[in-house]
Structure 1
């Protein structure tokens, strides 16, 4: 997993140790203890020779010659085995040079000399912290419990050690119940730079964007595509987005045409790191725009995550008003294209410590994030929380759940991306040699069943919107409406050049989807995932549906017509069901926007039942629609209702599915 640190500006990895980029090397974790090597002695040796060797070792370390300092400190403890401070400093030198087993032995030696003295606190702290970082929780626990007794129960030190004890106990239990995961490298084709990390994908998992660290130390955003069998070699996302400075931690909308990313250098911004946005039209990305002073401040803003429709943004900031050091915040895009004042998402997600790398799943309900404030296996762990709004409760989040071992380990975990179908997860794994980070690679694994149950999968609809006659691609709006609440679930714009669109279809609901463009009849589609039938199993499990959408021009004297798929009636009745309001109000709005147009509302049935009764029923259903529109303010003279019964089937009445298609209401321009 990635060695994530809170002070990282762009990607948060400790791969190169290049401080200029805000990438803190992992050994800085030990600086508070290693600095003791240069501080006044806490205890003096009785042996003069031991003191001289000790002093020479300290001098060499001050000259950044740690390896040369070790033999002198080793001789000091041999000269005087009761020299407790020399044992401690020797352990810290070993630890500094990544020689962990000798370091542990040295710390234990220091503790054995004064096991009940507060003077041994530094040795207890160094020993237990090293054991925790190595994932040796059972060994760390007794030392931590003893260490804690050296401080008053309500002291800051006691509480800090108490958190480490929680980590040791949690880690001990997690190792006994590992998650069944088997990470695999994503593809060697993607490994064109020393390191790759922070992957994000479109819902079809065919477009991948990730941050790449180049040999010269520059970070850029790269893109690759999947053809069903293999990944293409990655290329620069855009020369207009990537610069000689660092760009990273990107987030994509579901259609892959809106990106928000972090930049910390080179661009004119508001703070140490800012968020930028770019839109794709055709094959070109727009010049990145700073999200502005409402989202960006003179503080730190980074690690963005967009909702599927690109209208909600989660990110990390240390701005005032938060719950901890770095918190997760949220901002929404309004109809005018303005980002709202960010809201802190609060507890129980945010803690008094650090949260990082939020990822909102395409379902809009599952929030994955990294934290060093919740109990975990040490450092930053990955967690998931569920939106309470999806359960009908007030806004907020459920208590976060640790993703478990080995997704989390004693090392820091940076981020996780979970596919729209909820079956696969992508992340970066940082390879190490002798405790030193070497490179980071992209990996994928199947999400364990226990986590799949937490992540509600989504389907997606993708295709091209075009004029039905000329076949010319159209800039159109695609909107998904919850028929139960009449609320917009998502709203996306097609590519103005290609007409392409991708819309996410959440499971567990009854939805209307509308495709509309000025001067055209809107297309009405219906998706019922509230009670999945056998035919819907593939959809409810999160697969994609490919569908091109031809739109009919709204011109008088043509044969333009569309089926209104979101009008609902009880069997053999003509009373409009309440969830028909969404469709009816949309027709009403269309009529008011196009005041010169006249329409015909036509009712149709299948071939079952008495033909005369069917004819009457179809007429009454059409008239019910006209009556509603009249009450909504549409002039009656602009509409006519007609019933055709079974006489004009759309498809042969050869199956129940076909008969359902024939029971319909159509509208056409007169």
Structure 2
């Protein structure tokens, strides 16, 4: 089977799928804490088989990676930024694509008399540590990285010279504390505040002639998010996320079928779907956990696309035909109603060794063109894998995904876009395949 170079690259990137069952895609972007500066970052997950690297963002911070099943933690890592370790929870069977954004905290560089992240530590030796003791007075404050609001926190200091640990607590009523250092030292520090990511840093105290000064440690919130994939969403659908008191939660809309929101762990929510030509439907999301929760939602009474048959071919008593198979938006799972047809195609090819298959995947024009090419390739891949499992030789299949480049109708209505979300299965002569 001859794949395009791009398709082969994608298959190589997910070659470990035989070891890790797949549960959809995770897509979105990574920025600095302000939300305006893109960050090039790597994305990995912790599974029951250990750490698995999924991929990285492009230069604009955008990513689209395939997820293995049984993921417990997602890790986002970038040079000169604090890593994110986010618990992952599934509220339903995972399928399709889930969108989310991640924000990373920049790290301070190693310097004297200023806290910096432990990951930035390079070799450093204190000099002249035998002098008489002195008093180095420093004030500590902990603040929210975005709002700059003072936070209650626990600060633990680990002294190198004394081999001692001291902890202090900052309160809302007393948001700062003074510490007197009595000698030059390299001090490790850990800062914790409920609902925030912990800070692990170092402090080099090698100067004794400074005036008293204040260290401000900024913490990034431990965000809890809900990402929803409405598998069979149609144009004009309206989606709401409500708390138990029916107050609306702000939503980020990616398109008609994909939303994400920041939520509070431990709370329960209600998802409501409605809109023009859409029967109202709601479902509960009970007691969300801390971290990222993924939920797939299939609206009841989904319209089943009708496959369009082309000219039939009849050889040796086995009947088969070329056909166009349709997929829901952002979905690459093999439609159940297509399996009977593919079974007949497999039987036909096995009975007619002079025939071959050309399988071409297409999408509508909604979303990123590059991601659409990837999606069309995965739709083709699930069909080719199904046929090969039925005995069709690899040499009898030519497959490619072309994204939204070749629509059969203009992408100006949802009905037309549905017609463009397709995989075309053509029965051809074997000699035509080799040309």
The TM-score with structure 1 as length reference comes to 0.20
**Structure of higher CA gyration radius:** 1
- The structure that is helix-richer by fraction is 1
- The structure that is strand-richer by fraction is 2
The TM-score with structure 2 as length reference comes to 0.28
Which structure is higher in RCO with an 8 Å CA cutoff and minimum separation 6? 2
